[in-house]
């Protein structure tokens, strides 16, 4: 059966791999993001049935607008949009800037998922699935970004309870260090990358496809009895700060 799947932030990195993974299986995928360019590039790849829609998932009006462009029934929602918006938020800036940066991470990584889920969950079919993309940062004391990802996992527990009676699962895939993404390409030094790889049991960074396959599993019938969980996909990465 072909399913309708929404992947937020599906134009790049992990989200793109997730979108392509489902499309290759014959599902109809709706991929969103704020910038039109990555979405146009994804659509041009012509991997299965991928339809792209611009949407800022921190903006209730934009998410409301998206509703009219999606089918009446969704089978899977992947809350992937996010990333660390506040690398410099170390508390040494002025108070207004600190709060602005702190809130930006909460908005991008936690509020966006809650808002999108709240807008769409009534459309989810029985047997459907929600998968959020968390982060190993949730377990590391990684500032407002880590706090947002930890909050995502906590909030998901209540969500799983609420959707369980409708036979809908809700889980978090928590990646470790993933290469081939803007996120890590643009924000880490070579030394930091080597340090992160050295801290994994498998001695390597993950790929976006590693995350896509785990998301695919949690959204499949094989995972129908798994809900309210965090699946760590990090090559055995130990705590590094
Ligand atoms: P990318 O920056 O490539 O992907 C993030 C995507 O989210 C982009 O396509 C971006 O598009 C979109 N996005 C960001 N904010 C919004 C928004 N408000 N509304 C709509 N779309 C948005 O990085 P990754 O692929 O690495 O990140 C994907 C997820 O994985 C994130 O949640 C990140 O926190 C998480 N993660 C990544 C890890 C890594 O190693 N790369 C490790 C652990 C977790 P646009 O800017 O056009 O809106």
Q: What is the pLDDT of residue 63?
A: 98
Neighbours of 36 (CB within 10 A): 11
> Could you tell me if the ipTM is greater than 0.95?
yes
Question: Considering 22, 30, 145, 184, which one is annotated as catalytic?
Answer: 145
**pLDDT bracket for residue 79 (50, 70, 90):** very high
What spacing in Å lies between the alpha carbon of 70 and ligand 1's midpoint?
21
Closest CA to 154 of 140, 168, 138: 138
51 - beta bridge partners?
A: 30
Mean pLDDT of 2-25: 97
Closest CA to 130 of 63, 229, 233: 229
> Can you tell me whether residue 234 is helix, strand or coil?
coil
**Pocket flag, ligand 1, residue 82 (CB < 6 Å):** yes
Give the pLDDT confidence of 144-164 residue by residue, as tens digits: 999 999 999 999 999 999 999
CA distance 210 to 18: 10
- Does the active-site annotation cover 177? no
Q: Take atom 19 of ligand 1 and give the residue whose Cα is closest.
A: 56
Alpha helices in 71-168 (DSSP H): 95-106, 112-120, 143-163
Where are the domains positioned within the chain? 4-233
Mean pLDDT of 16-32: 98
Q: What is the pLDDT of residue 118?
A: 98
**Pocket flag, ligand 1, residue 88 (CB < 6 Å):** no
Give the pLDDT confidence of 83-107 residue by residue, as tens digits: 999 765 455 789 999 999 999 999 9
CATH number attached to the domain at 4-233: 3.40.50.720
Residue 139 sits at the vertex; the CA angle it makes with 105 and 110, to the nearest 5 degrees, is 30
Reading the block at residue 85, the tokens are: 């918006």
């Amino acid at each position: 059966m072909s399913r309708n799947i929404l992947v937020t932030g599906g134009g790049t990195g992990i989200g793109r791999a997730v979108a392509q993974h489902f499309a290759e299986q014959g599902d109809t995928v709706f991929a969103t993001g704020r910038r039109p360019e990555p979405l146009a590039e994804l659509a041009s790849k012509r991997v299965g049935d991928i339809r792209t829609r611009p949407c800022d998932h921190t903006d209730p009006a934009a998410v409301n607008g998206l509703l009219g462009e999606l089918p009446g029934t969704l089978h899977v929602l992947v809350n992937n949009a996010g990333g660390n918006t506040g690398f410099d938020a170390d508390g040494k800036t002025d108070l207004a800037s600190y709060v602005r940066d702190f809130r930006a991470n909460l908005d991008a990584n936690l509020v966006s998922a809650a808002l999108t889920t709240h807008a769409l969950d009534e459309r989810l079919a029985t047997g459907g699935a929600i998968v959020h993309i968390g982060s190993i940062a949730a377990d590391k004391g990684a500032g407002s970004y880590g706090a947002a990802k930890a909050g995502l996992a906590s909030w998901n527990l209540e969500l799983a309870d609420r959707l369980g009676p409708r036979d809908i699962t809700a889980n978090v895939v928590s990646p470790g260090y993933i290469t081939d993404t803007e996120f890590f390409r643009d924000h880490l030094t070579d030394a930091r990358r080597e340090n992160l790889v050295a801290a994994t049991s498998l001695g390597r960074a993950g790929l976006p496809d590693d995350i896509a396959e785990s998301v695919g599993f949690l959204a499949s019938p094989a995972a129908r009895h798994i809900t309210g969980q965090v699946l760590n996909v990090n090559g055995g990465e130990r705590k590094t700060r």
